[in-house]
Structure 1
Amino acid sequence: MKKVITSARVTELGDIANRLSELYKKTTALQDDNFLSTHFSELEKQGKAITAAVKRDSVLSKLKEIDSRRDDAVRVLSKLLTGYENIPEQTLKPHGERLAAIFKKYGVGITDENYSSESNLIESLLADFATEEAVASVSALAGVSQALDNLRKEQNVFAEARAEYEKARSEWENQPTATSLRKPLLEIVNKKIIPYLIAMQIADNSKYGSFISAASKIIESVNDVIRGRGKK
């Protein structure tokens, strides 16, 4: 029976923990083994904790991704207005200069601000572009209205995602991170459960053999993924 490759990712360890725990719960013949019962109970607990921690990480990752899209919307608007500001067509140039001047009060640098500051600055920017004088120029320049609409959309999406993140974060206080759970889980599997099963395979294969075979396949399926990743 092979041990889990130590370079396994947190998500892969969580997968192993959950699958092994389910396998053990379905193996009625081993429920009277106090050693396995104790350690699989802990393994199940660790697996659920990793699943929850990974979910928390994914919420933050999603927020960063949405913020990146919002930043892109700011940059698109900036490039569009710069083009109109310098356009040689005299019927369009004044409109471009007017809108570019509004944008320059904020600049692309707002994308480097923290979430709260950037959100406030974007709201202020959009309000400036909604004034009567600005709206006339926006209407005169193809693509600007669409760029502003897209920025508004991404701003709203970010606001919703951040509200979800803040709500979740209030529930995460003092919860372990996925990374901090990695080592303890790996030790339960590699240093406790697997050595014990190897010994029991020799001592009472008729009782433990079937479970060990199924558990080995679970571990090997993940090890194959890890080895395949290393070959890329």
Structure 2
Amino acid sequence: MIEKLHYSSRTTEVDGSATQIVNGYQQSTLNTDENMVKIFALIIDALALLSSAIKRLKAKSEQMYYDDIRDEKITAFYFLLVSFSHHPDAVIKAAALRLLEIFEQYGLEMKNEGFTTESSLLNSMLADYKKPQLLDTIALVPQCAEYIAALQEAQDNFETNRLSFEEAQGQEGTLENATQLKKTVLDQINGLLVPYLNVMEQLNEPVYGNFARTVAEITAANNQAVKRRKKKDNTPEDGE
């Protein structure tokens, strides 16, 4: 008997397992079975939507990652300037204070702004530091040029990945989310495909047996991964 896919499976696990099942079906000779054709038409359509939803989540996750790096570079640059603003060397101290004054026009709080506002503030600040009259001042503060370059790189990386994020945001309100789509795919596999294959394998093993065993292996492997994860999550810490 084929196991049903566990409903605690992650969206990526369902996406991966369903993709394997679809690939197995497409390589089989079962496309002459009208019931299988109808079942897989539903699964394939829902799977395409699920895969797209996962890509949207990935785009959002990556943008948050690049924003976190950007925020880290902003903080590091700020504290570099604060540190050297207390330097015993009067020349270095004066240079750091001048650069810190520019930074404070924008404020460390820029990190708390939305993506667009933060980008605008950061781009403006970086443009200020690129002004020719500040080159000598920047050169006086140790590592300052390197910190500015790192901040510029972080901002460039953020903007490079911005398009895919904006596309994901634009679709977010009009399309079903990954959790809803995962349930749809699970319902179709568990409620339609698995019961049908379990019956047909017994009625006509020569025709359905190979594919039924393939699906059984895929669902069993998926469920085993879910069980291992649950067991790991429930393992007490040492000393408990």
TM-score exceeds 0.5: yes
Shift of 1:101: 1.5
Once the two structures are TM-superposed, the CA of residue 200 in structure 1 deviates from its matched residue by 2.0
Quick check: 2:82–2:100 contact (8 Å CA) kept in 1?
yes
For residues 174 and 221 of structure 2, what CA distance do their matches in structure 1 show?
33
User: Which moved further from structure 2: 76-85 or 201-210?
Assistant: 201-210
The alpha-carbon distance between structure 1 residues 133 and 31, as it changes in their structure 2 partners (threshold 3 A), is closer
Partner residue, 1:48: 48
Amino acid of the residue matched to residue 120 of structure 1?
S
What is the CA–CA distance in structure 1 between the aligned matches of 2:97 and 2:188, rounded to whole Å?
66
Shift of 1:112: 0.7
Aligned partners of 1:77 and 1:148 also within 8 Å: yes
Partner of 1:98: 98
**What aligned pairs does 1:3-152 form with structure 2 within 5 A after superposition?**
3-28=4-29, 30-152=30-152
Distance 2:94 2:31 in 1: 81
> C-alpha root-mean-square deviation of aligned residues, in Å?
1.9
Cα distance per residue 1:95-138 (max 9 Å; x no partner): 12111121112221111100111011112211222334433221
Separation of aligned partners in 2, 1:58 and 1:142: 38
Identity of aligned residues (%): 26
Q: State how far apart, in whole Å, the 2-side matches of 1:52 and 1:167 are.
A: 12
Amino acid of the structure 2 residue aligned with 1:228: R
Cα offsets for 1:137-161 (capped at 9, x unmatched): 2110110011111111221222221
CA distance, structure 1, for counterparts of residue 205 and residue 143 of structure 2: 73
Q: Is the 8 A contact 2:60 2:168 kept in 1?
A: no
CA distance in 2, matches of 1:168, 1:97: 42
| Structure 1, gaps ≥5 residues long | none
In structure 2, give the amino acid aligned to 1:162.
R
Aligned pair count reads 231
Distance 1:6 1:171 in 2: 26
Q: Distance in 2 between matches of 1:230 and 1:171?
A: 33
Question: Distance in 1 between the 2:60 and 2:95 partners?
Answer: 40
Q: Distance in 1 between matches of 2:147 and 2:156?
A: 14
Deviations 1:162-196 (A, max 9, x none): 13433565577733322220111111111121112
Aligned AA (1:14) = D
Query: Which aligned segments of 4 or more residues in structure 1 are displaced greater than 4 angstroms?
Result: 167-173
Q: Secondary structure at the match of 2:200?
A: helix
**Using the alignment, how far apart are the partners of 1:32 and 1:130 within structure 2?**
68
* 2:237 match: none
Write the distance in 2 (CA, Å) between the matches of 1:166 and 1:68.
17
Aligned AA (1:126): L
Q: For structure 2, which runs of at least 5 residues remain unmatched after alignment?
A: 233-240
